[in-house]
Structures are given as structure tokens and as C-alpha cells.
Structure 1
């Protein structure tokens, strides 16, 4: 991870997760570039999450990222470029038969400054 460490139910700087003014009580706060890998051994059918750049301060106009969901080495889903001003985007990805899940946040192309990225309300669905 490019800065800090992944945080459970908080932003990467341990504040409430907020995307475009909406606060989320649950999820994972990260910073680009980041990769979170989970061994799920085919036990889940879907991964669902709201994603976006954390807007923890009024001056976070720099952050830009993409979110990727990988399963067993294959790209299953990728968001378009997301900026700090963008609303949270809901992703819902099929995981049928997937053994290894990887959640990736990439730099949006303008450096990783303020690339605080939230997987808000992230859930694995049996």
C-alpha cells in the first residue's frame, strides 16, 4: 500500500469513511497503490461494495484512482477513473468458483497524492 495501512471501518487516516459527503460506517480504507488478497476457496457467490475516493477534507481535489476486483488472476471488474468529487459507485461482482479474491486500487495517473480509497460497505455474499 502506498501510504499507511488498510483500516477496518475507517479511512486510511482513521477517520470515518466519507465519499462525496456520504459517510459509511463499515468497509476498508486504503491508499493507492494497494492490493488486498483474500483466500475465499469458492465459498462466496458475490462481492458487493460502494467504492470511491475518500473526501475527508475540503481540499482533497487531487485524489484519483481506479478500483479493480480480481479472481484467481483474472480481472473481474474495473471502475472508470474516480476522482474525489465523484459519488460512490456500487460494484457487484460474481465470485462463483473463485478461490483467491484480490481487491486492487490503482493510481489514477496523476501521482498517488491524496489517493485515499474506500471499499465502503464491502461484503462477501455466500
Structure 2
């Protein structure tokens, strides 16, 4: 109970009243800036969040225990896209690298000529 007191309570402002599932869906659509956890036994609500809010972790309450579900395939694809976007160099960065290489007179072909073969020593 003490853990729950530290979280904000979001009130339903729908008039006339709608189902809790529909209310959660509308809150999740409107407010994408806040970070939430969703704990529900409703299969349709969890499927809805996997499709529309892949960044939202969902928890399932079963057998007197709280289990965090695995991220959906959609979540994994979004994470991979973000990783690729963050790892790619911008045009500005590529231009700076080219300038530095020109200043240091580094050619890509010179790298291949620097491979020196080591002699093998055979012990008899």
C-alpha cells in the first residue's frame, strides 16, 4: 500500500461513464508523454497496448504474482530502428571526418600497404 501512495492517481472525466478498458485506451492515446506501466488481466487491453503503445511495459497478475510480459515484436523493431538512427553518422560528422583525413593525409588505399607479413619460425 505504501508503494501505491507515491504514484499519481488519474481520474476518469468521462460523462456518461464508459468502461475502464475504454478509459485506459483513451488516456494512453491522449497522453503519450508520460511513462506508464499497465497492469491488467484484460487480454484485449494488453493486445491494444502492444499494437498502439509498444513502448508501454505491460504486467499480468496471475497466481498472486506480478509478471512483466515480454516486449512485443513491434517493440523490438522500434528499438532496433532507434539504435540504427543513433549509430549512423550525420552529414556534418562525415564532413568533419573527411577534413581530418585530408589534414592528416590519410588515404584508404594506404591502409592495405601497411600489412607486413611476419616470418614464421620453425623449431626443430
Q: Provide TM-score, normalisation by structure 2.
A: 0.24
Which has the larger strand fraction? 1
* Structure having the higher Rg: 2
Greater RCO, 1 or 2 (C-alpha within 8 Å, sep 6+): 1
Q: Provide TM-score, normalisation by structure 1.
A: 0.24
